[in-house]
Amino acid sequence: MTTAGLPISTRFEAAPAAGVDLSLVERLRAGNVAAVAEAYDRHADAVRAFALRLVGDTSAAEDLVHEVFVALPRASRGYREQSSLRTFLISVAVNHAKHYVRAAARRRSALDRLAREPDAVAPPDPERDLQRRQLAQVLSAALDKLPLDQRVAFVLCEVEERTAGEAALIAGVPEATLRTRLFHAKRKLRERLAKQGVA
């Protein structure tokens, strides 16, 4: 499967993962609305947490979660029981993420501009406000400049603390490729943060 030029597979072929509810998967494949609601109840929080870590914006994360579950009946046809349904759902989120990553970056940029406006309510502390804005800008800019495949690798391994093997399964790439993406993501983040004087 390809999303905006980024090849990411959601075909999982192996022995069933422990705890997989195959009847739920079959109902999803049949387009059963109650099955989608059941999958949402079980897994939406985990997908939302991943989406928020990936895009860094609550509104964009909610939109991404919605898109994942709308796409689930069709996407579930590619599920082959190698992993948990939750892991599969996160791979679907990865497939839909590119647009949301860009939108979240634009939104953060606009919010940064608004944050530079003086706060009429709180007593001014220019030094503290400046330091907070600078740190937020540096971190956001560093993450926003990573290519999506490297950003996915970084969020899965460093933020969600998944193993490289599980992250590779979600991203639909060999583990060596995932490790290479993570290596480059860390290097780029270190370089960008160092240029800004952030340890």
Per-residue pLDDT tens over the stretch 161-184: 899 999 999 999 999 999 999 999
Q: What is the pTM of this model?
A: 0.66
Residue 49, pLDDT > 70, answer: yes
87 vs 98 pLDDT, higher one: 87
| Cα separation, 160 vs 51, whole angstroms | 11
Amino acid at 144: D
Contact 28/72 with Cβ under 8 angstroms?
A: yes
Statement: residue 11 has pLDDT above 50: no
Is the pLDDT at 106 greater than 70? The verdict is no
What contacts 125, CB < 8 A, 6 or more positions away? none
Residue 36 has a pLDDT of 93
pLDDT at 104: 65
Task: Identify the pLDDT of residue 34.
Answer: 93
In the chain, the DSSP E strands lie at: 2-3, 6-7
- Nearby residues of 53 by Cβ (< 8 Å), 6 or more positions away: 155, 159, 160
pLDDT for the residue 42: 94
Q: Which residues lie below 8 Å from residue 181, measured CB to CB, with a gap of 6+?
A: 149, 150, 152, 153, 171, 173
Q: Which residues, in sequence order, are CB contacts of 112 under 8 Å at separation 6+?
A: 133, 136, 137, 140
Please state which architecture CATH assigns to domain 2-195: Up-down Bundle (1.20)
In 10 A of CB 113, how many CB atoms? 9
For residue 58, give Cα distances in angstroms to 5, 55, 95, 101, 153. Answer: 25, 8, 18, 12, 20
Binned at pLDDT 50, 70 and 90, residue 94 comes out as: very high
Per-residue model confidence (pLDDT) at position 82: 78
Question: Per-residue pLDDT averaged across 151-165, rounded?
Answer: 90
Query: Which of the four pLDDT bands, split at 50, 70 and 90, describes residue 59?
Result: confident
Residue ranges covered by each domain of the chain: 2-195
Residues whose CB is less than 8 angstroms from the CB of residue 137 and which lie 6 or more positions away in sequence, other chains included: 112
Q: Which residue has the higher pLDDT, 80 or 135?
A: 80
Sign, Cα dihedral of 161, 47, 81, 17: positive
